[in-house]
Structure 1
Amino acid sequence: MNPIAFQLGPFSIRWYAICIVTGMILAIWLAMREAPRKGLTSDDILDFILIAFPVAIVGARLYYVVFNWDYYAKNPGEILAIWQGGIAIYGALLAGALCLLLFSYRRQLNTYDFLDIAAPGVMLAQAIGRWGNFVNQEAYGRAIKSLNYLPDFIQKQMYIDGSYRVPTFLYESLWNLLGFIIIMSLRHRPKLLRRGEVAWFYFIWYGCGRFVIEGMRTDSLMLGSLRVSQWLSIILVVVGVAMSVYGRQNGEQPFYQEK
């Protein structure tokens, strides 16, 4: 599958970029729909995105380059070649979270509300973005005999270096899509969730799924007995559980209240 979707004069538009931008647009749209319910405006969302999106891309690339420094030290000219793939979602999440904390503080907005607004869209964007990995033939697992349970176009694209590969990109995409459907179905049920728990659900759901799926991949950096992303997944789950328990013990108000 050609990673270049089409040409605009001298510019090559890649499927990888289309997947990322599509996910971002849908995430913004979802956040703008939810914002008025939490006392925020569309301008708050757009102003945040204008700052957070480029910062998140830099964070995602920086994370990837740092943990693959042996390669980039020998090929410094490729450090900025983000169009070839090679961004790490955890780098984007860390950079985006820092932006969110600073932005909500400067605007005097409730950080939990902002996280709750953003989390479902982030989950959907990740589900879409993983298909950029599919086109670039990256983020896959070990060699296996066949993928005959999948559509032909996926089988062909996952035939890499003479073998079919475990399509971990697909597993993570479907896991995130399922999480998105669940949280969108539950978040407006009166008194079910507390403020912040949409975000904590994302932390727990994504962390659990990523921990398992990351263990299937063959391109991950190890740190002791686990991969770096697995350690970060554990942290994400622990933070999500701890914050949810803390909020309920301290009487955090419901996420959604009928008016």
Structure 2
Amino acid sequence: MNKFSKIFLVLCAALSFFVLAGCGNNSSEKTVKVGIYGSDDRIWKPLATKLKKQGVDLKLVEFNDYNTPNKALTQGELDINAFQNYHFMNDWNKANKGNVVSIGDTYIAPQRIYSDKIKSLNELKSGDKVSIPSDATNEDRGLRVLRQAGLIKLNNASLHTVKDITENKKHLKITPLDAAQTAHSLTDVAAAVVNNDVAQDANLKPESAIYKEVINKESKPYVNIIATTKDKKNNATYKKVVKAYQTEFIAKKIKEVYKGSTYPAWNYNFNK
């Protein structure tokens, strides 16, 4: 083998090494399984496109209830999820001896009262039926919204149920239902307290609500979050997802998808 042949082989070997190294770099792309609920796919899909360019492959797993995303997270079927608020997370951890933690704020969405039968809360009659979400966190929140609207009074419990109503002058029949069913219940009740994501999926227009929850400093527990398990809270890739989420691009997407009914929470002024 002459000198030039040896040089050629060395160069080929070097080129092969760099090609393989390049392939190795491509395989370093990180896959993150994200559990989301309902309409949020319209926020997370554009985010997935942006993160793909940064070496993060988001795999969206959609849920249609509030009960299973944290179970899936703690069982290792998900890496992160984004469907719950702080209040829900803390309550779920207590009830399930869980280790779910927040790694970043997403948005806050006021609950609203909707009706197919009346145009104003003043039109509620004695004994009318009102539905609210039944999971512990949103039942408490729904009752607080009814109190805020001047329809009932509550005791000082930290997490209210209908048993904590101390005054109900109109004798409203307040019925907790699965959150996803509150919008559908409008054919049977005078009014319903509906979570914003449920209202969005049911095509309820925010401007048609007869009451909107007032957002203030007491609303902070209802900020929605990106969550993972405690042992993964410092994961660099998950932090990269949070950083990509908390941008003006996603803030605009939130306003677009939810038609101005939902507010980015990472820079929201809760004291106004």
Place the TM-score, normalised by the shorter chain, in its bin.
Answer: under 0.3
Which TM-score applies when normalising by structure 1?
A: 0.28
Greater helix percent: which structure?
A: 1
Greater RCO (Cα-Cα under 8 Å, separation 6 or more): 2
Greater strand percent: which structure?
A: 2
Q: Which has the larger radius of gyration?
A: 2
Which TM-score applies when normalising by structure 2?
A: 0.27
